[in-house]
Amino acid sequence: MSYGKGYWGDKKIIAQFPEMSRADLRLVKKISGKTGYIPSDEISIKNEEYHWVTDGRVILWRGKIVSNPPGTPTVDIASFQAMGRFAVDKYSLYFDGQRTESNSGASRVDLATLKAIEGNSTTLVDSKNLYLSGRRQGSSSNVTVLEKRWWGINPRLMSVNRNLYSNDLLIRSGQNIYLNGVHLTANADSFEIIRWIPHSLLVFRDNKGMYRYPFGQLSGKAIPVDDDVSFEVGESRVRWRKQLTSDRQWSKWIDLPGIEPEQFHLITGNIAQYKDRLYVTKLSIFGEDQLEIIPLDTPDLVIDRSFNGGKQHAYFIRQLRSKSLQIIPVNGPLTKNDRFAYDDRNVYTWTDTEVRITPSPCPAKTRVREENVREVQNRDIIIPVTDESCRNAAAEVQTLKP
């Protein structure tokens, strides 16, 4: 049996185990109790996942046999359990394939309450302790999550399986700040994020100055963008590019002046928000992308849904292959939920591709026929469109209640 990385012609053998058969391997028992087949280890700009496996005689981690230093207990396979990069047996704690410290006495790991904060196994807590990179770091009672950020390009309207993405985790414990289990030299009370590129870079400041901390696989670089993304958000600049032809050949990147990258957020691959403005790339009549900058009518409006309500306009993002923006004038304040919105005159319903505007004498009496049951083309949304249906709306609601 061999352990390698890469695929096909790029595959590289890291280690070989001639006395082992893959058929004899199984995943080490997970602390969560979940079991399953042995997936491949993965390292990419969006995910990092490795697995503790055993053949019943030894434990393997990333192609190496786990063995403890001289003078410490041997690995106890019978009691060995894992949670991501962390593992524990009856004698020891482990992280990334190495023994970190003893698991004995009153400070033993409480497996019944052990959990990874936000799914990040660099940072665990149980009923007593905080564990960072496999080592106890004080009490679990004073831990505060400051923020987490998913790896990779993450537009606000991107629909993905988060189980396929890793995250960076920033916490505070007492007067200490930690990123992915690593202590940052910073004053906790004055700590402020200036720029954070997931899996790459954290620039921060406190009352003593500004600091730049590269980390992860990208180590300070901008996240590489796919062909369907028009913007690159780096450490100190934001750039956009336009598509020249239908075969997805791109022109050179163009800097956007006066932009603070930390405040520039992708909504889709071709729509982004910077403070009170939207940046939208769309095809011109000549068949190439052009950049349009659109001011929002509400300074603090965050565009993070398909249908978004401002003071005088609604902003609708079509969920088509090429995302586009529609700006709709509204009549008075919008009241909105996940299914519909209404103002003083109209009810607004939407699908992935269009907004439907329905005049109503009583928009506020719009209702959904049955909670948690969504019908095609929003047919379960009942909109009163006549004075009579407005008068009957309250009675109909009473009739539908069990």
Side by side, the strands of the sheet bearing 81-83 are 29-30, 81-83, 86-88, 92-95, 98-102
Q: What pLDDT, on a 0 to 100 scale, did the predictor assign at position 6?
A: 59
Q: What pLDDT, on a 0 to 100 scale, did the predictor assign at position 105?
A: 86
Q: What pLDDT, on a 0 to 100 scale, did the predictor assign at position 3?
A: 66
pLDDT digits (tens, 9 = 90+) for 134-157: 999 999 999 999 999 999 998 998
Q: What pLDDT, on a 0 to 100 scale, did the predictor assign at position 398?
A: 42
pLDDT digits (tens, 9 = 90+) for 157-179: 876 677 788 999 999 999 999 99
- Which residue numbers in the chain have pLDDT < 70? 1-12, 14, 18, 34-37, 159-160, 243-250, 286-288, 321-322, 394-402
Q: What pLDDT, on a 0 to 100 scale, did the predictor assign at position 268?
A: 93
